[in-house]
Amino acid sequence: MSRGVRIFTTRMCPFCIMARELLEQKGIDFEDIPLDGDAERRRRLAEETGQRTVPQIFIGNVHVGGYDELAALEHGGRLDQLLAELGPTG
């Protein structure tokens, strides 16, 4: 079941790998959108988020930020709450 989680990544980025692993360990379905070799998509993402780094993570329409922000949500007990606010999808 998709929870509306999207993660924009590059293949070799260690923070992208850690973000994917955190989501996978929690059993969260997510759409992994690779930016390798796609300069235009990366430019549009930077304009949208104000960030040029990866990963960039969205839960529903909420821009969470990168891995550090995702991990902080998890450690603070807020990630599950944010996911629950999406309600069932798929």
pTM of the model: 0.89
Per-residue confidence band for 2, with pLDDT thresholds at 50, 70 and 90: very low
Other Cβ atoms less than 10 A from the Cβ of 58: the count is 20
pLDDT in tens, 25-67: 999 999 999 999 999 999 999 999 999 999 999 999 899 999 9
pLDDT in tens, 5-17: 999 999 999 999 9
Instruction: Kindly list the domain boundaries of the chain, sorted by start residue.
Output: 2-86
Judged against a pLDDT cut of 90, whether residue 87 lies above it is answered with no
What CATH class does 2-86 carry? alpha beta
State which amino acid sits at residue 72: A
Which has the closest alpha carbon to 71: 34, 35, 17, 29?
Answer: 17
